[in-house]
Amino acid sequence: MKTQVGIIGAGPAGLMLSHLLHLEGIESVIFENRTREEIEGTIRAGVLEQGTVDLLNVTGVGERMMREGHLHHGIELQFNGIRHRVNMHELTEGKSIMVYPQHEVIKDLVAARLEAGAEIYFSVSDVSLHDVDSDSPKIRFKHDGGEQELTCDFIAGCDGFHGPSRKMIPESIREEKQQIYPFGWLGILAETPIANPELIYSNHDRGFALISTRTPEIQRHYIQVDPNDDINNWSDDRIWTELKARVETDGWKLPDGPIIQKNIVSMRSFVCEPMQYGRLFIAGDAAHIVPPTGAKGLNLAMSDVQVLKRGIVTFYETGSQDMLSRYSEIALRRIWKAQRFSWWMTTMLHRNFNHSSFERSIQLSELEYVTSSRAALTSLSENYIGLPLEWESPKSLLV
C-alpha cells in the first residue's frame, strides 16, 4: 500500500490534517486504533477559538457548528463570591469563541473525509513506524487480523499523548519539558437547563469550579478535586453540593438534575522538542499537553496541522523541504504562548492547598488586578480567543 502522507490517529489533529491535504490535492491514509463510534462518542473539549471556527468554516466543515454551536462573546470570572464579566468581543475587536463539543467536530470531519472517499482504517492494532529517517517511511499495522504495510512520503504522528509516534524521535535529540499540577478536574454531563449564558470560571476557597454548556438540555461542569481521588467517592449529591458551594452567589442559583456521566482527569503541562525527526512530524497532544483551564488543547492541535500542511504543500509544489524543516520552530512559538496562558489561568484560578496565606492573598490580588485593568483584561481576552498563527518571527512592538 502507498500514499503521500500516512497519518496515525483520527483525533482533531489527524482528521483536520487529512482534510486540509485533501483540499490541496494531496492523498493521505489515516490509522485509528479505536472504532468510529468510540471517537465520535468520547466527551472532551468544548471551546473553539475564533481561528478554529474560521478554519472549520473556510474549509467547508463548519455548517453544523454554526447551526448548533453556541457563540459566546465573553466569560465570567468569579472570586470572593463576586462575578466579573470579561467582554472579550469588545476587547478583541469583534472576536468570539464557540462552545461546540469536540466529538461533534470529529463527527463533522469524519463525515467530510468519508464523503470525499478518504481511507480511514478504524480499529487497527499494533501500529508501528519504520524508516522514518529515510525518504520512504513505513507504517505497519494489523487490521481484520492480517498485518499490512503502508509506504509514504511523510508520517504525521497525530496519535495523542500515549501514541507510539513521539517515542520514534531518538532520546538523544528529544527533550520533554513538563509540569504536573496537584489538581484534578471532576467533569460531569448533567441533564439540566443552561445554567448561565456564558462560561463561569470560579476561584473559591474550596477549590476551582467551571460552569459550561453543551446543548439546551445537557450541561458540562467541572470541579477541582485531588487528581488521585476516586470517582466512586463522588455521589451525585456530593457533586452538586460542592458545585453550588463554589459558584452560587446571593442572586444566582445553579440548576441541578440527573448526572449522566462523570470522570476525573489529572492535569499536566508538557512539550516535546523538536516535533520532527526525519520524515516524521508529530502534532497535537502527541507533542504537547496543556492543563484544560485555558481551553487550548484542541485549538493547538488545529494550529499545528495548519503549519504542517503548509510545509507539506510547499514540498509537493517546489520539492523544497525548507518550510517543513521549520515546522517545529513555527509551531512551537504558538504552543509555548498557549502553554504560558494555560499555566497562568490554572495557577490563578485553582486553590493550591499547599500555598501559604501570603500566596493565597497574592492570587486573589492578581484576580482583582486582572478584573480591574483594561490592559490585563485585553491580554486575557486575546489569549483566550486565540493568538494569531505567526509564520515569521513575531514582530517586536517596542519603540
Burial category of 266 from C-beta neighbours within 10 Å (exposed 0-12, middle 13-18, buried 19 and up): middle
Choose the one of ligand DHB, ligand FAD, none that binds residue 377, judging by a C-beta under 5 to 8 angstroms depending on kind.
none
Interaction of residue 243 with ligand FAD, rule CB under 6 A: no
Comparing CB distances to ligand FAD, the nearer of 266 and 379 is: 266
Residues that bind ligand DHB (CB under 6 A): 45-47, 199, 210, 212, 220, 292-293, 295
As beta bridge partners, residue 6 has: 29, 155
209-214: Cβ within 8 A, 24+ apart = 209/242, 209/243, 209/246, 209/247, 210/185, 211/243, 211/247, 211/254, 212/46, 212/47, 212/99, 213/46, 213/70, 213/99, 214/46, 214/99, 214/101, 214/189
- C-alpha cell, 122: 478504524
Is residue 56 helix, strand or coil? helix
Tell me, yes or no, if 73 is annotated catalytic. no
Q: Which is nearer to ligand DHB, 169 or 290 (CB)?
A: 290
Q: At what angle do helices 327-349 and 374-385 cross, to 10 degrees?
A: 130
Using the structure block, give the residue that is written with the C-alpha cell 504558538: 334
- State the nearest-atom distance from the C-beta of 375 to ligand FAD, in Å: 25
Residue linked to cell 501559604: 356
Using rule CB under 6 A, residue 299 touches ligand FAD: yes
Q: Nearer Cβ to ligand FAD, position 22 or 34?
A: 34
Q: Indicate if 222 belongs to the active site.
A: no
By CB under 6 A, the residues from 147 to 176 that bind ligand FAD are 158-160, 163-164
Tell me which of 221, 274, 292, 350 is the catalytic residue. Answer: 292
Please report how close the Cβ of residue 175 comes to ligand DHB at its closest, in angstroms: 26
Angle made by CA atoms 265, 271, 272, in degrees to the nearest 5: 125
Rounded to 5°, angle at Cα 282 from 59 and 313: 45
Taking CB under 6 A as the rule, does residue 227 contact ligand FAD? Answer: no
- Which residue is catalytic, options 70, 72, 288, 309? 72
Q: Least separation, in Å, of the C-beta of 314 and ligand DHB?
A: 34
Instruction: Output the furthest CA–CA distance in the chain (Å, rounded).
Output: 65
- Residue 6 or 187: the one with the smaller Cβ distance to ligand DHB is 187
Which one of the listed residues 100, 121, 181, 201 is annotated catalytic? 201
Which range of residues in 43-51, 195-203, 245-253, 349-357 is near ligand FAD by CB under 6 A? 43-51
Q: How far is the CB of 47 from ligand DHB (least distance, A)?
A: 5
Write the single-letter amino acid at 196. Answer: N
Set of cell numbers at residue 57: 468554516
Asked if 350 is an active-site residue, the reply is no
Is 384 a residue of the active site? yes
Is 193 designated active site? no
Say how far apart CA 372 and CA 59 lie, in whole Å: 39
- The footprint of ligand FAD (CB under 6 A) covers 8-14, 31-34, 39, 44-47, 102, 124, 127, 158-160, 163-164, 185, 187, 265, 284-285, 292, 295-299, 301
Q: Which residues are catalytic?
A: 72, 201, 292, 296, 384
